[in-house]
Structure 1
Amino acid sequence: MGSFNVTHPAFFLLTGIPGLESSHSWLVGPLCVMYAVALGGNTVILQAVRVQPSLHEPMYYFLSMLSFSDVAISMATLPTVLRTFCLNARNIAFDACLIQMFLIHFFSMMESGILLAMSFDRYVAICDPLHYATVLTTEVIAAMGLGAAARSFITLFPLPFLIKRLPICRSNVLSHSYCLHPDVMRLACADITINSIYGLFVLVSTFGMDLFFIFLSYVLILHSVMAIASREESLKALNTCVSHILAVLAFYVPMTGVSTVHHFGKHVPHYIHVLMSNVYLFVPPVINPLIYSAKTKEIRQAIVHMFRHIKI
């Protein structure tokens, strides 16, 4: 410990699941299945939207962005997770850890922005269908996607530098098999108030505001649907929102739990922190392609058509 003095360690040591170290080899199979579903499922959706002209619509362009962010999050965690569980290779260089930390938070925030854009898409489609094609043009969709990416980059750019200014001398052992900002900053032997305040500001001003506007869009959608005289038509309109609602829940419920535990759950058992963080990062990329494949007829048909074409 003394060799670190008040500088940075050359590397961090990653941790699998505390208390289950002897079972890590048994967890490799489920982890590989989850990564295969996340990467394979989202890649199939990306390819289906790309090659199928019937899916060249705003809703499916946004779905492509969601799938891309899910693939990116999975790729950001995959190297260290599989090294930790498969090879018991736990070390990660300090700078590599900061890069991974930035990428995980970047694509998570980008996914939040895309979910907000998708809620706007559903709002326009249901509340103002006559102007749907003129409001959500290809240019507007591209601008929304680039805006989500730009917001993530600008907001999170200071994060690695806020970590670099801290002397890391308490330990070099992280709580997860990947790097997260709250996990790294707790190892500092200096005042981390600025990091904590900035992290909370980012959480509230981006994820919190996104969730608020998603909620607001659905309040307006419900108000519009309630005005539809036909019960059948109102249910049909709401049914187009089911996949998005499930995707929002799959993303925000674990994320809210992780953030709450990190900021306020100082006395919560450590394994709860680890479990919730793993659910937050691993579940949405696995669940989203399954949700959209199961609930969206057009996606299912496009995937079947694509595989038939490959077979031929």
Structure 2
Amino acid sequence: MGDDSRVVNGVDLASVDDEAFLYQLMDNTEDVDQRKLVRARLREVQAVSRAKREEMMKKREQEREDAIKQRQQEAEEKKKRTLAMYDSMAKSAPAGGPKAMDINIYKEGKPCSDDNAAMVQPQRDLVEESIRERQKEADERKRKILAGFDTAAKSGTSQAVKKTEINQNKVSARSKFQQMDAVNTSQQGNKTPNFQATRVNRSASDIKEMLLQWCRSKTKEYESIDIQNFSSSWSDGLAFCALIHHFYPDAFDFDSLNPKNRRHNFDLAFRTAEEKADIFPLLDVEDMVLMKKPDWKCVFTYVQSLYRHLRDRD
């Protein structure tokens, strides 16, 4: 089966490439050391998947570049043939006389002489304008496609968020919280049955507001923190740091943090949460740094995890 140090619950981690299965295995594993083994394998699988996506994106981008160059060459060739045809028509009769256009010149691709190029300036301008318009459209399509792949790649670095979005139509936020609290209630000897019962009728917006209220209550002693939503309020990483610092005040010096040092703030918060509370970093530091306004669904999912692990510490 392989090295026993890489076997968890009878599963050889080296042979598993399914991220969903690894997430489920980690959820079903109680031993901290074995959870770390599963998490390490999960990161290996994610790294391989990310490399494949990047390679695919590079390949497709090169194919698009080649296709654009090919269209440019074809447009340039059509332009030359068009100019040659109009040049021939201009020379087919004296000034003021009836002109004859030979379409075969366009088909055969005979070049247009420089001496007569000025005679067909109006036609050349129309052709050039058409080429520029097609080039502009191609560039815009390229920009949109690249933006789509970029968004997909960023979303892919946080597989848990991706799973949440895929199942969004199947499980509402209310149902997710009900399931979350049902698990915690059974683990804690069903301490809060009344509180659990009141949640059944809450809407998704109620769940979001409740979670925001919880975050505000835990960060009210931090004057620089003002949590109003699940996007811009978390953009510099300080809100995450404040929330973690509330529960682990000796982990780091919050007053020394700088809102401009966003990468450091995100890394500090996610790393501390993982080390102190075994909270898996569902958000990726690089993704958060790239986004001035984080995706609220990603932040909402991670804050749910913080709530689930930390709410009973106070």
TM-score range, shorter chain: under 0.3
Greater relative CO, 1 or 2 (CA 8 Å, sep 6+): 1
- Higher CA-based Rg: 2
Give the TM-score normalised by structure 1.
0.26
Give the TM-score normalised by structure 2.
0.26
